[in-house]
C-alpha cells in the first residue's frame, strides 16, 4: 500500500483526528492510537479501523517520557487537544522536533494554535460558524443549519489534516526535515469553501439564504418527496440537463417560465413537488436512470450499499463483525487502500507489543505497568 512503513502516533480524540488516523491506516500506515490510562470503560473512537491501541498516562512524567521515546521512532504525531495542552505535558513541538527533527507534528484543532480563540473549547458547529460558511447554509426564512458534523470535523479537519501530513511527508523527502502542521478546522472549512468565496462576483449568492442556485432556492437543485415517502435529488443545472428533467416530469417546456426566472422559482418548486409526489422512488428511478437529467434517489444507509451502481464499484465494505462502512476513497490504480477487516482495537489491546516494537525492554515495560503508567486489555481482547 502507498503508506506502508509509515509510523503514525495518534493521540486519542473525539472525531476529526480519528478520521485522519483511519485514512492513513487504510492506505497502509502503521497507526498507533495512544489512549488514556486509566482508561474509560468503552472506546469512543468508532474510526479505529486498522489501528492498534496503547494505553498511556501522559499526565505522569514517565508516561510523557514514554511518548517522547515513541515520537523519536515515529514519522507522524497527530494531536487533537486545544492549544497549550501538549506544552503543559512537556510534549510541545520544540521538544519533540528537537528529539526527532524528521517528525511531522500534526496539530488538529478547531481554532488553530494562535489567535483569540486558540485556547477555547468548541465543536464542529462553532468552527463552521466562524469560517463564515454556516451563514450560507439553510433554507429560506430558517436559521442557519449545520449539516451534521461533516464540514469542519471531517472535511475541513480530518481530511485536510491528512493532506497536510502527506504534503509535509513529501517535502521531507527533499529536505529531510519534519515540521508542524497547524490544522485549524475554521481555516480548513473556509479553504474547502474557496469556491463560495471566489464565486461571489458571479452573482450566485446575491440573494438571501435559501433563495440561491445551490442552496435550495432553485427548483432544479432540490429534493422532492415521492409517493412512498422517500425522496429524489434533483441537480439539473445546465439547460440541456434541465430539458431532460422537464421531459421526465412530463412537462412541456414551452408552457413554463425560463429556467433562471428567479421570481418563478417558488411556484416551480410547488409544481415539481406535486409531480414527484405522484410516483414512488423506484418509479422515478425507472424514468430517470440512464438519462442526463441529473436525478437520483436519496438513499438511506440501508439502501446505499445495495444500490446497483455502488455494488458494481464495491463502494461499501463489510468487516469481520458484518459492519458495513464506506470503502476508502479515492481508488489508487496500483496501490489501492486495503482496509482492515478486523474489529476496532480495544483500549490498550496492543500496549506491550507496541512498546516492544518501539524499542522498550521487557523490564521497562514491567516497570511502567507496576507504576500504572500503562494499561493493557489483553484479557478482554482474548475473551
Ligand atoms: C461534534 C463533534 C463531537 C462529537 C463527538 C461525539 C461523537 C462524542 C462526544 C461525547 C461522546 C459520548 C460520551 O463520551 C458518553 C459516552 C461514552 C461511552 O464510552 C460511549 C458512548 C458515549 C455516549 C459517547 C458517544 C460519542 O463518542 C460522543 C457522543 C466535534 O465537533 S469533535 C471536535 C472537537 N474539537 C476538537 O477536537 C478541537 C481540538 N480539541 C479541543 O478543542 C478540545 O480537546 C475539546 C474537544 C474542546 C475537549 O476539551 P477538553 O477540555 O476535554 O480537552 P483538552 O483541553 O483538549 O485537553 C485534553 C486533556 O486530556 C488530557 N489527556 C489527553 N490524553 C491523555 C492521556 N493519554 N493520559 C492522560 N491525560 C490525557 C490532557 O492532558 C488534557 O488534560 P488537561 O485538561 O488537564 O490539560
* pLDDT surpasses 90 at 225: yes
Is the pLDDT at 382 greater than 50, yes or no? Answer: no
- Return the best residue to mutate from 41, 44, 182, 373 for the ligand 1 pocket (most ligand atoms within 8 A of CB): 44
pLDDT at residue 379, as a whole number: 47
pLDDT band at residue 204 using 50, 70 and 90 as cut-offs = confident
Which ligand 1 atom sits closest to the C-alpha of 57? 68
Domains observed in the chain:
7-193+321-382 (3.40.50.10540), 221-312 (3.30.1540.10)
The mean pLDDT of 331-355, rounded to a whole number, is: 96
pLDDT tens-place string over residues 20-59: 999 999 999 999 999 999 876 566 789 999 999 999 999 9
- List the catalytic residue out of 35, 57, 124, 153: 153
Q: Whose CA is nearest to atom 14 of ligand 1?
A: 44
Closest CA to 287 of 251, 260, 315: 251
68 to each of 29, 35, 383, how far by Cα in Å?
20, 15, 32
Report the DSSP pairing between strands 30-36 and 7-11.
parallel
Poorest-confidence range of 106-110, 197-201, 214-218, 279-283? 197-201
Would you state the pLDDT for residue 46?
A: 94
| Cβ < 6 A, ligand 1 pocket | 11, 13-16, 34, 36, 40, 42, 44, 56-59, 80-82, 85, 88-89, 109-110, 121-124, 149, 153
User: Residue 317: pLDDT above 70?
Assistant: yes
**pLDDT of amino acid 43:** 67
The pLDDT mean for the chain works out to: 95
Threshold 0.90, pTM exceeds: yes
Predicted pLDDT of residue 44:
76
Confidence of residue 377 (pLDDT cuts 50, 70, 90): confident
Supply angle C-alpha 162, 89, 119, rounded to 5. 65
List of residues 6+ apart from 178 with CB closer than 8 A: 97, 100, 101, 102, 103, 104, 105, 168, 172
Question: Quick check: 380 pLDDT over 90?
Answer: no
Q: pLDDT > 90: what percent of the chain?
A: 94
Output the pLDDT for position 378.
Answer: 66
**Looking at residues 332-354, what average pLDDT do you find?**
96
Ligand 1 atom closest to Cα of 35? Answer: 67
Could you give the C-alpha distances from 31 to 43, 252, 296, in angstroms and in order? 16, 58, 37
Q: What is the ipTM of this complex?
A: 0.94
CA of 44 to the centre of ligand 1 (A): 9
Q: Tell me the H-state helices in 131-279.
A: 160-175, 185-192, 194-198, 239-248, 265-276
Q: Give dist(CA 109, CA 121) in Å, integer.
A: 10
Grid cell in block for residue 48: 479505529
pLDDT at 13 over 50: yes
How high is the pLDDT of residue 147?
95
Lowest mean pLDDT among 118-132, 288-302, 368-382: 368-382
Q: Is the pLDDT of residue 87 over 90?
A: yes
Amino acid at each position: 500500500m502507498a503508506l506502508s512503513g509509515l509510523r503514525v502516533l495518534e493521540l486519542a480524540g473525539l472525531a476529526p483526528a480519528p478520521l485522519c488516523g483511519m485514512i492513513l491506516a487504510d492506505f497502509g500506515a502503521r497507526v498507533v492510537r495512544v489512549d488514556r490510562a486509566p482508561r474509560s470503560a468503552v472506546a469512543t473512537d468508532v474510526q479505529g479501523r486498522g489501528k492498534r491501541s496503547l494505553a498511556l498516562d501522559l499526565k505522569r512524567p514517565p508516561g510523557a517520557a514514554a511518548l517522547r521515546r515513541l515520537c523519536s521512532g515515529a514519522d507522524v504525531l497527530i494531536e487533537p487537544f486545544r492549544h497549550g495542552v501538549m506544552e503543559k505535558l512537556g510534549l510541545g513541538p520544540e521538544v519533540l522536533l528537537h528529539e526527532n527533527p524528521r517528525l511531522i507534528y500534526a496539530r488538529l484543532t478547531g481554532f488553530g494554535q494562535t489567535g483569540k480563540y486558540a485556547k477555547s473549547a468548541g465543536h464542529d458547529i462553532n468552527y463552521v460558524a466562524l469560517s463564515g460558511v454556516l451563514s450560507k447554509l439553510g433554507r429560506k426564512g430558517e436559521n442557519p443549519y449545520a449539516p451534521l458534523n461533516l464540514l469542519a470535523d471531517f472535511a475541513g479537519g480530518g481530511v485536510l489534516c491528512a493532506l497536510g501530513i502527506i504534503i509535509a511527508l513529501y517535502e521531507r523527502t527533499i529536505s529531510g526535515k519534519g515540521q508542524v502542521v497547524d490544522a485549524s478546522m475554521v481555516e480548513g472549512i473556509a479553504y474547502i469553501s474557496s469556491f463560495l468565496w471566489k464565486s461571489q462576483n458571479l452573482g450566485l449568492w446575491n440573494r438571501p439564504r435559501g433563495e440561491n442556485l445551490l442552496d435550495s432556492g432553485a427548483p432544479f437543485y432540490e429534493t422532492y418527496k415521492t409517493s412512498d415517502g422517500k425522496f429524489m435529488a434533483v441537480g439539473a443545472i445546465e439547460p440541456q440537463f434541465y430539458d431532460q428533467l422537464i421531459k421526465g416530469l412530463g412537462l412541456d417546456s414551452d408552457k413554463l417560465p425560463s429556467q433562471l426566472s428567479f421570481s418563478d422559482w417558488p411556484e416551480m418548486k410547488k409544481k415539481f413537488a406535486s409531480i414527484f409526489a405522484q410516483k414512488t422512488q423506484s418509479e422515478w428511478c425507472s424514468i430517470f436512470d440512464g438519462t442526463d437529467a441529473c436525478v437520483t434517489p436519496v438513499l438511506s444507509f440501508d439502501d446505499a450499499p445495495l444500490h446497483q451502481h455502488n455494488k458494481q464499484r464495491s463502494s461499501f465494505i463489510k468487516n469481520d463483525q458484518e459492519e458495513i462502512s464506506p470503502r476508502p476513497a479515492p481508488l489508487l490504480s496500483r496501490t489501492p487502500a486495503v482496509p482492515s477487516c478486523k474489529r476496532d482495537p480495544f483500549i490498550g489491546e496492543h500496549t506491550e507489543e507496541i512498546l516492544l516494537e518501539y524499542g522498550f525492554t521487557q523490564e521497562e515495560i514491567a516497570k511502567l505497568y507496576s507504576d500504572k503508567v500503562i494499561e493493557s486489555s489483553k484479557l478482554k481482547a482474548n475473551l
